[in-house]
Structure 1
Amino acid sequence: MSNLIQAIRGMNDILPKDTHRWEFFEDTVRDWLASYGYRNIRTPIVEQTDLFIRSIGAVTDIVEKEMYTFVDHLNGDSLTLRPEGTASCVRAVLEHNLLYAGPQRLYYYGPMFRHERPQKGRYRQFHQVGVEALGYADADIDAELIIMGARLWRELGISGVRLEIGTLGSTESRHIYRSRLIKYFEQYRDELDEDAQRRLHSNPLRILDSKNPHMREMLAGAPRLLDDLDEDSLQHFEALQRVLHEQGIAFEINPQLVRGLDYYNRTVFEWITDKLGAQGTICAGGRYDGLITQMGGKPAPACGFAMGIERILALMSEIEIPSPTTDIYVVHQGELAADFAWKAAEWFRNEGLNTILHCGGGSFKSQMKKADSSGARFAVIIGDDEAKEGEVSIKPLREAAEQVRVGLVEAGPLLKRI
């Protein structure tokens, strides 16, 4: 016997016993985003590799180590499975001139791909909801994105999530800070791990994001970007904090909060939980005012975030989410009954009742066993006698009650009342 082909490591099947939790999340998120006026945008999962190198940054873990990149053998193009959604969203906005109509509130949903070591909460194919507000310069939109997150956790029933905020300032203030950071780290060159030494001169801010416990004390003493903020960035950050205070959103300021992508500036934030171990960030984002220009568009401000669906669902694992219910299982015996059963099943569906029509033949007894195991509330039984009269027999499966025989027209309203 040949060996079974299995799913790629880190790319997981989502089975029917779990999909109702995904559907509940998706339905909640769609309603939540609509309530804030965000509209859906859908982009391809494959893009030109240069899109991510230009937007994310060449000296980042994603570009250096994690992207699924391949050459299209038909035309020689270098293509990449999208590792994140912002770059694709901005590319689509520029390509289709969406900003000519004014600022845009957009969201996307779907799979992302990164070649990482699979572990709980970190997969090679993972799913994100991303929200992007393009064309808004003031701190009020930053605050809205954070307030949206707080509302979603309430609607999903998630607790124990804390908010950390910070600011990366302007390009100019980051250049000043970058020089100070390099000078500081050079004093501790022997204590830097291999990644930090490689990034010391190319991307020193990423060293602050290191999870290496041996560097913790050295990182704690590093200079703070907050001390080098330009006046405009400081006012923007203070305006954000004012709105959060006024709206009752608790937060901590983390001076070393650094997002893993090069395009961020000013506001950065993360929603973090202690319930998922090392993969504790469930939602993160910030402002990226320079990305649109960097990708060839006219200067325009932007802000957004992305959330990891697998991590959020892990937080919801103890929350009771009802599975979809089957109302009716149609059992039928006989040639006339089989024809009438098709009509009856469609009739019940037109009445808004979830209906399974038995397929595959079998005895009345075996069909009733399948009706019971289906989880349906009722078995609708059709024999040739019922079919001749345009009637069905209704047998409750989840409670002790008498079987009744009624006309098909009366059956739908009756089942909805019971």
Structure 2
Amino acid sequence: MLRLNLFIFACGHHRAAWRHPDSCVERLGDIGYFEDLARTAERGKLDAVFFADGQSADNVADGPRWFLEPLTALAAMSRATERIGLISTVSSTFYTPFHAARLVASLDHISRGRIGWNVVTSMFDAEARNHGFDSMPDHAWRYARAEEFIQVVLDLWDSWGEGALLHDRKGAYADSSAIHPIHHKGEHFQVDGPLTVPHPPQGHPVLFQAGASDQGRDLAARRAEAIYAVAYDLPAAQEYYRDIKRRVRSAGRSDPVPIMPGLVAYVGSTDQEARAKQRELDELLPSADALRQLSMYVGQNCEQWELDAPVPALPPLEKFSGPKGRYATILRIIETERPTVRQLLGRLASGGGHCTMVGTPERIADEMERWLLNEGADGFNLMPPSLPGGIEDFVDHVIPVLQRRGLFRKDYETSTLRGHLGLARPACRNTSAVAAGVREGCG
């Protein structure tokens, strides 16, 4: 079965989506907008909805990025839904473990076991300067902190045994012998514990990660229970998929660890209608701004390029001196799709290096099935170019095709995010009990 999440981002993942006459840009401060999106995703029986997060406000004239703080929004969305999972990004660089453990465990209780947390190390200096740093700490420091951060959060969740709450009105509220401090003292954190929130309903809310660098892939392979990925096409997806699965096995794990690349889908009743939807958004993109951005990506002045002409020849990757990852993706898009300049700008404005599928529901389902059956993906993190229309199109037209083929559930069979993803419940690992060689207090 495919695993499918809805990645909610403002008015959609196309940078010009907010400019469309049908966008909900005026509602981004209205929690009802996000509740409606979650209910649509739940109607489609998706595994979860997901929020990324950012810690700085940059280039605000270009369009909306962040508005409501995501953990706060998920608390409200959990009350507007019943089954769908709810995932938010948490920065291990800017949060502390106690703060994160308390927030996420509280949400797991509020939602009755539907919470996931996507741990990131963050990456921009502008974000760092909002949290007491002069610039972003180096890569190795951030990943060492992330490793310790995750361990401390898990220990805090397990500082309460599952049977610790007694609710004995004539005796004790809780069994103090089942609640223990963690006495953590490491390189980055000193945390006594125990947590102020009892053991979460899922044991541990589901841990997502998106490791791309070598160090990030290792961390994801050791720790993640599900992984977000970036892959432009099936060969790139297969390289990442096979590498991560190998690292998971090398880490001694037998967990499924589903891998979910991002997917930008334009759905139409015909291929022509789908391409028209794509072109409509592309034409709303301010070309001068987009060409200036492209100039930075490719290391040359693109501002005089003709929008509806083929992309001029670019130097090969080995002769490019700038950031090579994005440049390599641009070269692959040009080689594979032969786009016009306008089409290339639209592709980069809608999902960047993520897979893009344009066509009928059957054509999109065909391609998703091909990735699933050929070690490209266990599912997808859906990135609709426009919201709410993009997810409504997918739920109403693509999901039924996947269901008829037996590739996606027709109804929820479980009530927790861990259950939706087919993940085992982790055994409670009470820190003090483990140190003593026993598991007292863990139900």
By relative contact order (CA 8 Å, sep 6+), the higher-ranking structure is 2
Write 1 or 2 for the structure with the bigger share of strand.
1
Bin for the TM-score computed over the shorter chain: under 0.3
Q: Radius of gyration: which is bigger?
A: 1
TM-score (norm 1): 0.26
